Amino acid sequence: MTMTRRDHQIMQGTLILLASSLFWAQSLHNGLGGDVFWQWAAGRYMIHHHLVLHDDVFSYTLYHKPWVTEEWGYEVLLAALVSGLGGVAFWLMSAGIGTILMVSLAWLLSLRGVKGLKNGLLVLMAAPGLVEFVKDRPQAFSYVFFVWMLIILWNAKTHPRRLWWSVPLLWVWTNMHGSFLLGFLLLLLEGIWIIVPVNTARVKTWPTQVSLKQWARVFIVSVLVSFMNPNGPGLWVYSWHVSFSTRIAKYIAEWQSPDFHMMIWVVVILVPLFLLVLLMLFGNIPVNWPDFFLVAGLFYATMKSIRFLPYYDVQWAVLLGVLTREWPFRRIQGYVVAPLLLLLTGLILFEKPIVPAGKPVGEPILAAQYLKTHPGRVFNMYHWGGYLISQHIPVFIDGRTDFYLQGHQLHQYMAVKNLTENPNIIWKQYNVRYVLWQPKTAVSTYLLSLPKQWTPIIKTKTAILFQHRGLW
């Protein structure tokens, strides 16, 4: 007895719900931390002053230096939602976007002929590789835009006029995050497949009704419309430079190659690749050349930088879906299995205490409260800079790595963190009065060894705030 259509629909829906619960569990259980605080503060500033920031207003090290706010659209949207909805907005901008991503992936798979239980299983299989990256940050939107771009390009093959939907999508993407270049790459590749289709016994290029002239018009208009952003055409140059910056990769783990000592990367990167290779070697379904090319390119990009994993994760799910025939599930009845999946969803969501929406976790809250009423320059840890900015405290450094590359602050910060230079020389240069650092680290141990120069005034499990005694 095979599954009925209703059973397939029930199972597909519950599997998508289960996949979405992973994103909600992450948001509900972990609280806020990291760059989201300075992005929120930047959005508040732009809304309050009715302008887009082009200069830094948050640090004392590069105050009023040029700052390209490529993510201004996300920051304004985040601040507006938080102002209107409160802390719940942070859940919507992370778990809510994750849910939209799962539904969008299911939609894309359905358009490619992957339906029912198979559709839901592929969405669930893709979720673990996405959940680590879908948080309160603008990149989360880029994953959704990537899927939507694939949907538009596939729809346009039989309805050419729908290709024009890529124009507003790419414009929004341009004003949300620098990854918009990937969207234009997808559109460019579509033109290449029109000009040079690949058709062999094993590899095919899916036919399209889009003419080269239609594609060229859409591409040119999309590029021109993308110039309608606060930074103009220069944003293209800036985003290209940042995307391939080797200097950023020295400091940010997400810009580095995956560490396969972590089993999660083996599972979400190499296992799908192994399955795809087997299907292409021993399967008899023709391989869609654009799908294969995109998977191969995104796999290579992921090997260079783990931040490309979400795009690869989406594309391998699509290729795996179209390379496999309908899976003949038997003796699975939706009304029997679905309650078990819903029970598992509930366990994922409520197995841990729920952290109140918008609550900072792992941030130096008490130290920030003290600094707000006791002025003086603070030398802060990199990952706490965003929270201090949100509390209106000028910082030495924060998560805007590309911005700080124009000065020596990143090098000086690492020199202090690793104690490769005498930190007092650097602190004297900036007239630092406070040092905010994690306990049980080299720097905090060093400062505790100098009681005549540095006094710990606030100690918590999270942070120690040291005050300099006397004058430099």
Q: In the prediction, which pLDDT does 357 show? A: 93
Give me the sheet containing 464-468, strands edge to edge: 378-380, 434-437, 464-468, 454-459
Q: How far apart are CA 379 and CA 429, in angstroms?
A: 12
More confident residue, 74 or 470: 74
Please report the pLDDT score of residue 165 as a whole number.
Answer: 98
CA 260-123-17 angle, 5° bins: 120
**Number of Cβ within a 10 Å radius of residue 57:** 14
Residue 233 predicted with pLDDT over 60: yes
Instruction: Collect all residues with Cβ–Cβ distance below 8 Å to 112 and sequence separation of at least 6.
Output: 154, 318, 321, 322
Q: Which helix (H) or strand (E) holds 467?
A: strand 464-468
Is the pLDDT at 332 greater than 80, yes or no?
Answer: no
What are the phi and psi torsion angles at 456 (to 5°)? -75, 120
- Predicted confidence at residue 328, as pLDDT, reads 63
Quote the Cα angle for 134-149-272, to 5°. 60
pLDDT at 191: 96
What is the structure's pLDDT at 61?
97
Q: Which residues contact 328 (CB under 8 A, 6 or more apart)?
A: 2
Cα angle 310, 312, 315 (rounded to 5 degrees) comes to 110
> For residues 104 and 98, what is the distance between their CA atoms, to the nearest angstrom?
10
Instruction: Characterize the bridge pairing of strands 203-204 and 454-459.
Output: unpaired
Partner residues linked to 287 by β-bridges: 203
Q: Is the pLDDT of residue 281 over 90?
A: no
Which residues share a beta bridge with 468?
454
Least confident of 9-13, 157-161, 221-225, 315-319: 9-13
pLDDT confidence bin for 329, thresholds 50/70/90: low
* 8 Å CB contact between 89 and 132: no
Tens of pLDDT, residues 96-132: 999 999 999 999 999 999 998 899 999 999 999 999 9
Is the distance from CB of 63 to CB of 57 less than 8 angstroms?
Answer: yes
3-class DSSP assignment, residue 454: strand
Identify residue 136 by its one-letter amino acid code: D
Q: Please say whether the beta carbons of 49 and 218 come within 8 A.
A: no
Q: pLDDT at residue 1 above 70?
A: no
pLDDT above 90 (res 199): no
Task: Please state, for a pLDDT cut of 90, what percent of the chain lies above it.
Answer: 84
Confidence label for 183 from pLDDT (cuts 50, 70 and 90): very high
pLDDT in tens, 421-449: 999 999 999 999 999 999 999 999 999 99
pLDDT confidence of residue 386: 97
For residue 52, pLDDT over 60 is answered with yes
Q: 202-216 pLDDT, tens per residue?
A: 889 999 999 999 999
Lowest mean pLDDT among 71-85, 299-313, 333-347, 381-395: 333-347
* Residue 331: predicted pLDDT: 62
The DSSP code sequence of 349-379 is HHSSPPPPTT-B-SS-HHHHHHHHHS---EE
Q: Whole-prediction pTM value?
A: 0.94
Measure the N-to-C terminal CA separation of the chain; round to a whole number of Å: 83
What is the CB-side half-sphere exposure of residue 95 using CA atoms within 13 A? 25
Measured distance CA(147)–CA(127) in Å, rounded: 14
Helix (H) and strand (E) counts for the chain?
23, 6
Q: What is the pLDDT of residue 252?
A: 87
* Model pLDDT, residue 192: 96
Q: Give Rg (Cα) of the chain.
A: 25
Tell me the pairing of strands 287-288 and 378-380.
unpaired
The region of weakest confidence among 23-27, 332-336, 367-371 is 332-336
Q: What is the pLDDT of residues 389-411, one digit of tens each?
A: 999 999 999 999 999 999 999 99
CA distance 442 to 420: 11
Collapsing DSSP to helix, strand or coil, 458 comes out as strand
- Determine phi and psi for 370, rounding to 5 degrees: -65, -45
Q: How far apart, in whole angstroms, are the C-alpha atoms of residue 31 and residue 372?
A: 23
Largest Cα–Cα separation, the chain? 84
- Residue holding tokens 């507003």? 168
